Chains A and B, each alone.
Chain A
Amino acid sequence: MQGMDTETVTLFLALLAVVAQVAVLVCLLLFVTGHRRQVADAIGPQALALAACVAVVATLGSLYFSEVAHFTPCKLCWYQRIAMYPLAPMLVIAAVRRDLGIRLYAAVLAAIGAVIATYHVVLERYPTLESTVCDPANPCTLIWVKRFGYLTIPGMALSGFALILVLLAVARPEEP
């Protein structure tokens, strides 16, 4: 039963990560084709709240993996958590207060998280990058979850960080 539940939640989080990836790709495509203003007009006023949702879901998902599914976080996981966890309350508060001043602070945290997550994904793909020995304790090359043939936990984290960055880029004040 426990196994099936973990399976369901993992698949759910993986599907959300795919949705995030699609959203990021669509937005980036619209940005490079010069439609950033239209994107900002469409979702700008809700962007902070959306970003807050992403950070909260990512934080809860991360806690589910470590506390319920008992996947042990490695060193790189912890660095990504350091970037993601503060974003959850920060973005929620900013969304409630409609405080767009959060954008720079949150973007820096999300960018740091995205860089670490990218490195973690590369390390999972190329485990010999750092070493050819598996530390018996808890190596970062250990892949706990892999869905759809490519999506691992740091891959999900990267999707979350990327979507938060895109949403921060289009966040606008509410129309008067």
Chain B
Amino acid sequence: MPSKRPPWLWIGLAGVVLVALIAAVVASSGGSTAKAAPGVEETRPVTVTGNPLPALPDSGTDPAIGQVAPTLTGATFDGTPLTIGNDGKAKLVLFVAHWCPHCQREVPLLVTYLKSHTLPAGVELLTVATATNASQPNYPPSTWLQKAGWTAPVLADSADGTAAAAYGLPGFPYLVGLDASGKVVGRITGEFTTDTFASLAQAVAGG
């Protein structure tokens, strides 16, 4: 038996759906997608010289301790050549992925810390933007890091993560400490506190 009453419920529902559809079309038309500045590339080729580091195990002793890290030769987002390698300086190398929520929490934490603290003498902080993927959230990494106030040099990793693989990256974020002779002092993965960051910085300075 068909209902005698007009189907107000369905007419109303169709109206709501139509309004939502029109609102979606109107609101998203003319919206511009984020465009990078000219000359900026989010991924760049990276050349690896030397032996890659073994992957950081979940637990136990890190087999990479004492091993000389390979040299990474590439460029920053804007194309300035950047080499992360055996240059006689102790360094901290931070690997971040733009889409990773843990990296999105870690970066501002470090930015705030670095505003009021200086790294030990002779220690430099370098960054690798890796796992870059235009179809994933918070793209592009160059804009993200710039907006976050990140001032350390950033090496743009290749699209297939050459630098990350050479450093045995297990997850994001990933921090590797190298002493002045380029040997691994410590490796940390996952969110870390600024205290942990400071003590690794101290450890690489003393090495």
Chain A positions near chain B (C-beta within 8 angstroms): 3-4, 7-9, 11-12, 15-16, 19, 43, 45-46, 50, 53, 70-71, 124, 127-128, 131-136, 139, 141-145, 174
CB distance from A112 to the nearest CB of B (A): 26
CB distance from A127 to the nearest CB of B (A): 4
Q: Does B204 contact A (CB under 8 A)?
A: no
Residue of B nearest to A126 (CB): B101
Q: Which of A4, A43, A134 counts the most chain B CB atoms within 10 A?
A: A134
Interface majority SS (helix, strand, loop, mixed), chain A:
helix
Q: Are B172 and A12 in contact (CB under 8 A)?
A: no
Q: Are B171 and A133 in contact (CB under 8 A)?
A: yes
CB distance from B105 to the nearest CB of A (A): 7
**Which residues of B (109-163) have their CB < 8 Å from a CB of A?**
131, 135-137
Chain B positions near chain A (C-beta within 8 angstroms): 1, 3, 9-10, 13, 16-17, 20-21, 23-25, 27-29, 31, 33, 97, 99-103, 105, 131, 135-137, 164, 169-173, 189-192
A9 to B27, CA, bound (A): 11
CB distance from B53 to the nearest CB of A (A): 16
The 9 closest A-B pairs by CB, nearest first: A133-B190, A12-B24, A134-B100, A132-B190, A133-B171, A132-B191, A15-B20, A134-B172, A11-B24
Q: Are A133 and B170 in contact (CB under 8 A)?
A: yes
Residue of A nearest to B7 (CB): A46
Residue of B nearest to A14 (CB): B24
